[in-house]
Amino acid sequence: MDTEQMGQGMGRPGLNRRQLLAGLGGLTVAGSFGFAALGTGADALASGADTRVRYWNLFSGGDGYNMIAMLDSFRADNPGIEVKDSTLQWGSPFYTKLAMAAAGNRAPELGVMHLGRVTGFAPGRLLDPWDLDLLAKYGVREQDFNPALWKRAVIDGKLYALPLDIHVQLCFYRKDVLGKAGLLGADGRMVAPTSVDEWFAMLKEARAATEKGLQTIGLWHNDMNFQWWFFVAFYTQLGGTWFSADNTEVTFDTDKATQVLEFLRRHLTDGYAAPGFGGNAGAEQFVNGSPFCWEGNWSVPVFDSAKVDYGAVPLPPVFGRPATHAESHSFVLPHQAGRGGATDEGAHRLAAYVVQHARQWAAGGHIPAYTPTLTTAAYRKLQPQNEYATAMDHQATEPKVWFAGSTGILAQRVGPVVVSSTTGSARPDAVARRMKSTLATLLAMKNPMDGRTAAEGGALA
């Protein structure tokens, strides 16, 4: 099907703005979310351009600079396409704006979402599927992506997200401290522990080589998002599951969950993580000489700029199976009633270009989703990226249900409960049971976007 035919066959979304507002809890009118400032594309095209692509993203800081650089490269190589990019506030505000724009037929041609949120975004109503022929025309094919990652982007047989990267939780380590403690291999890298006992033995030896006043490890023990991400990683290492294949039953294993919760808690009870050094203090302590910290790969530029002698590996496979929490920034096509033609092709071309030119994106710590990038000489020279690129093949992800994904309802409901166990205000076994009860409640809930439960559709690959 060509782009003109595809656009003519779309029709208007089945979810109108009033329904969406009700589903989002009666939020205020679209104008207060800043749609006017984002524009509708009605202003004059830039000189020399004959097509405009409006692109909304959530990248700020270092990621924002890297994205701008890639967009500028695209503009230089494609002068006939004007890219009008807008950066919105990260998190729930971004998704609210994108959803309301799609429901009100004011959506941009291209957007970015966390892949875990796509299932809950009413694919086919608030998102349009990608044209695989157009992607192939510009050099992007399924075989160039990790199979599990691509599968997560497919819903009801159609591709609704084009992965740009995966971003993972890592174990950062100080080479100077671990070298002093005798914990580096012949290659100068950290030797990965393969059991809980080995890991805590490493912490004990590292603590003996650490200067006074510094904790041994920072692990965001009071942060609901990080604690949830760490839980997902280690629960996956144990082979834990969440729901039945048809999403009608909770299969969450409270015994395995308790093992993970006790493991996380032990870092504080054994004195390796100090209660007063939660949050960003863990990274600050790491820069000052603390031997370990668990952080997202986006901390790579921070530690590079601090001139720290460090390395980074996926979270330790203490339960025997490599797995570290992973999410993905992915390009999406917000629903447009008249999608098709030159602007739609321009969106496909832009997304394909950025995905294939992600070398600069990788410098920010993210692992490029386009696997040919990982085998290039330039990528292999990146440190510590070349230490943790294997995380692409060992992703621990949230379940593929509408209430999961970055800053989603699942994290908001379960994350604080995990924190209560890690910090000692609740027993791990009691928290595991509460988590299972919460999962059952969420499984019975209806997605406010379309009024369906997880079992009633929306997550079939």
Judge contact between 224 and 218, C-beta under 8 A: no
Interval 217-269: pLDDT, tens: 999 999 999 999 999 999 999 999 999 999 999 999 999 999 999 999 999 99
pLDDT digits (tens, 9 = 90+) for 350-396: 999 999 999 989 999 999 999 999 999 999 999 999 999 999 999 99
294, 217 Cβ separation under 8 angstroms: yes
CA distance 335 to 450: 15
HEC secondary structure over the chain: CCHHHHHHCCCCCCCCHHHHHHHCCCCCCHHHHCHHHHCCCCCCCCCCCCEEEEEEECCCHHHHHHHHHHHHHHHHHCCCEEEEEEECCCCHHHHHHHHHHHHCCCCCCEEEEEHHHHHHHCECCCEECCCHHHHHHCCCCHHHECHHHHHHCEECCEECCEECEEEEEEEEEEHHHHHHHCCECCCCCECCCCCHHHHHHHHHHHHHCCCCCCCCEECCCCCHHHHHHHHHHHHHHCCCCCECCCCCCECCCHHHHHHHHHHHHHHHHCCCCCCCCCCCHHHHHHHHCCCEEEEEHHHHHHHHHCCCCEEEEECCCCCCCCCEEEECEEEEEECCCCCCHHHHHHHHHHHHHHHHCCHHHHHCCCEECEHHHHHCHHHHCCCCHHHHHHHHHCEECCCCCCCCCCCCHHHHHHHHHHHHHHCCCCCHHHHHHHHHHHHHHHHHCCCCCCCCCHHHCCCCC
CB atoms within 10 A of CB 77: 10
Please give the Cα distance from 54 to 87 (Å, whole number).
11
C-alpha 283, offset from chain centre: 20
In angstroms, rounded to a whole number, what is the distance separating the alpha carbons of residues 275 and 381?
37
Dihedrals φ, ψ of 326, to 5°?
-140, 140
366 phi, psi to nearest 5 deg:
-75, 150
Which residues, other chains included, contact 404 with Cβ-Cβ below 8 Å and sequence gap of 6+?
116, 117, 119, 120, 398, 410, 411
Q: How far apart are CA 149 and CA 65, in angstroms?
A: 26
Domains of the chain are 3-164+328-356 (3.40.190.10), 169-325+397-456 (3.40.190.10)
What's the token pair of residue 111? Answer: 């957007």
pLDDT tens, the chain, 461 aa long: 333 333 333 333 344 433 333 344 332 223 333 333 344 344 556 556 799 999 999 998 889 999 999 999 999 999 999 999 999 987 778 888 988 898 888 999 999 999 999 998 877 789 999 999 999 999 999 999 999 999 999 998 999 999 999 999 999 999 999 999 999 999 999 999 999 999 999 999 999 999 999 999 999 999 999 999 999 999 999 999 999 999 999 999 999 999 999 999 999 999 999 999 888 899 999 999 999 999 999 999 999 999 999 999 999 999 999 999 999 999 999 999 989 999 999 999 999 999 999 998 999 999 999 999 999 999 999 999 999 999 999 999 999 999 999 888 999 999 999 999 999 999 999 999 999 999 999 999 998 878 889 998 744 43
Q: What pTM was computed for the model?
A: 0.88
Report the distance separating Cα 276 and Cα 264, nearest Å.
16
Cα gap 45→235, rounded to integer Å:
51
Amino acid letter at 175? K
Q: How far apart are CA 102 and CA 368, in angstroms?
A: 28
